[in-house]
Structure 1
Amino acid sequence: MRPMLATVADSPPAGDAWVHEVKWDGMRVLVDVHDGAVVVTSRTERDVTAAFPELDGLADTYDDLLLDGEVVAVEDGRPSFHALADRMHVSGRARAQRVARARPVTLMVFDLLRLFGEDLTGQPWSARRRLLEQLALEERSWQVPDVHDDGALLLRVTAEQGLEGVVSKRRSSPYLPGRRSADWRKVAHRRTYSVVVGGWRPEDGSGASSAGRLGAVLVGLPDGVGGWRFAGRVGAGLAGAAGAALLRRLRPLERASSPFAEEVPRIDARGTTWVQPRVVLEVATLELTAGHRLRQPSVLGVRTDLTPEELAEVEEGG
């Protein structure tokens, strides 16, 4: 199963028909608890159980649950996708346990899709939420965050606290697996984008060693007709181990020509090794200009929970 998705809105809807939650800056997951085992899957249905050993303890809560939520890591007192990036890609169990001690995560649970063998997706959000609260899932590694009646107030508060934004949900809405619905609406404060990598350039420098280090990537956004529109060159956020790890992902994807629909400016294309558009990054930027260029972008991390095919329906905010 894939999670239900929200549409982008300019502001939270008003009225009693809606409820509002904090939009967390993390990794969306479904957590299946059954017969003493826990399986965690990403929104692309990839098994990421090994990456988050903190969630093993959910096996001791109830015999049968399917939870929807967001795994978050805290940096400087607030959830940060950048802080989570190192956790997302760990596949070895022993290493995951070591990393978890240094940088623990918390599962923010916001929906209950199955309980004791009963499929709850056809029930309204209000009924699912009532059951979820009755489960009292409150531990160090998982919690059920509060919901709020005043979306405008929550939007102001989340902006003051440096949080990601607000998700508003219609109280009567069923859960639509894998669907993007106007019954869920998201408003993000931060300008972040999920982009695809179409090429890379080596680190600037005269020494031979610099040619083997990643200096920048050329990224794109969907052009609306099945291709990729060049969105700019990103170098910030690629220093050290992060850049080396990304380069290892890109080298097997090399190709002879640019994957972008339009010609890339010569100043950006110079020295570029083109790659198949298969790697998705999360980037932060001051803005997306009228010419569809990212202004002063910085890489936050690789999005292994998103495929390039999904980007056509993923708007700003990820």
Structure 2
Amino acid sequence: MQPMLASVADGIPSGPEWVHEVKWDGMRVLADVRDGRLVLSSRTGRDVSVSFPELQGLAETYDDLLLDGEVVALDGGLPSFAALAERMHVSSPRRAARLASTRPVTFMAFDLLRLFGSDLTGQPWSSRRELLERLELDSSAWQVPPVYEDGAELYEATRDQGLEGIVSKRRSSPYAAGRRSADWRKSPHRATLSVVVGGWRPETGTTNRMGAVLVGTPDGRGGWAYAGRVGAGLAGTAGARLGALLASSRRDRSPFSTDVPREDAAGATWVEPRVVVEVQSLGRGSTGKLRQPAYLGLRTDLTPDDLHEVSDG
């Protein structure tokens, strides 16, 4: 099963038919418990159970359930995607266990899709929520975050606290697995963006050490518009890891449908636009390029098609 997705709000919904939740800056995960075993799946269906060993205790809570939620890593009490990025792609059980003790995650469970063999996706959100709260899932590694009646107030509060934003949900909505629905609407604050990597440049004075990546966003025609050069945040292991991932996808020409300035293209190695990363910036300048972008981490839970879908939706 794929998770239900939220559309972008053009205003915060109000009225008794809506409730509102904090939008977490993390990784969307389905937690499937059956026969004493837990399987964690990313939004793209990838099994990420090994990456988060501290969540294995969910297998002992109930005999059969399927939860939808967000895995977050807290840094100074606030969710940090940069902190989570170190955990998302780990495939070594030994390394995952070590990171679980030094940089633990929390699973924020916000929906219940199956319980004791019964499919709940056709029931309204309000019924699913009532059952979820009855489960009393509360530990240091997982919790059921609260919902709020006043969306505008929550939006302002999350902005003041430095959180990512809010998600508004229609109480009567069924769970539309794998679909983007107007019954769920997201209102983000932070200027973070998922972009595709179309090339990279070496660090000054080197030939093979990554200094910056050239990134793009959907151009509205199925291609990629150039969005700028990102160098901040790529020092050390972050750049090395990304470079290793891009090594097998070289191509002869730029994959971008718009022009790349000569100063950005100089010395670039072009790659197939397959890898999605998260960046933070001060928005876009008059040329459409990101202003002062910084690399936050890989988005192994997203594909380039996901970015086109969000843009088209």
Instruction: Report the TM-score, using the length of structure 2 for normalisation.
Output: 0.98
Per-residue deviation at 1:95?
1.1
SS at match of 1:221: strand
Q: Which moved more, 1:284-293 or 1:184-193?
A: 284-293
Aligned to 1:228: 224
Q: Decide whether the 8 Å contact of 1:11 with 1:152 is kept in 2.
A: no
Per-residue deviation at 1:12?
1.7
Distance 1:18 1:290, change over 3 A: farther
User: Which residue of 271, 294, 305 maps to 1:275?
Assistant: 271
Q: Which moved more, 1:267-276 or 1:283-292?
A: 283-292
How far apart are the structure 2 equivalents of 1:288 and 1:42? 30
SS at match of 1:314: helix
How far apart are the structure 1 equivalents of 2:50 and 2:105? 13
Aligned to 2:112: 112
SS at match of 2:146: coil
User: Which residue of 261, 280, 294 maps to 1:284?
Assistant: 280
- Deviating above 2 A after TM superposition, structure 1's stretches of 4 or more consecutive aligned residues are 288-292
Match runs of 1:1-318 below 5 Å: 1-205=1-205, 210-314=206-310
Residue-by-residue CA offset, 1:255-294 (whole Å, 9 max, x unaligned): 1111111231111111000001011000111012353311
| Percent sequence identity over aligned pairs | 67
Residue-by-residue CA offset, 1:124-153 (whole Å, 9 max, x unaligned): 000000000000000110000000000000
Q: Decide whether the 8 Å contact of 1:170 with 1:183 is kept in 2.
A: yes
Matched length: 312
How far apart are the structure 2 equivalents of 1:49 and 1:275? 30
Q: Which amino acid aligns with 1:287?
A: G
Q: Decide whether the 8 Å contact of 1:12 with 1:166 is kept in 2.
A: no
Instruction: Report the TM-score, using the length of structure 1 for normalisation.
Output: 0.96
Q: Decide whether the 8 Å contact of 1:18 with 1:149 is kept in 2.
A: yes
Per-residue deviation at 1:155?
0.6
Q: Which amino acid aligns with 1:100?
A: A
Residue-by-residue CA offset, 1:14-61 (whole Å, 9 max, x unaligned): 100100000000000000000000000000000000000011101110
How far apart are the structure 2 equivalents of 1:87 and 1:213? 23
Per-residue deviation at 1:309?
1.2
Per-residue deviation at 1:211?
1.6
The root-mean-square deviation of aligned C-alpha atoms, in Å, is 1.1
Gaps of 5+ in 1: none
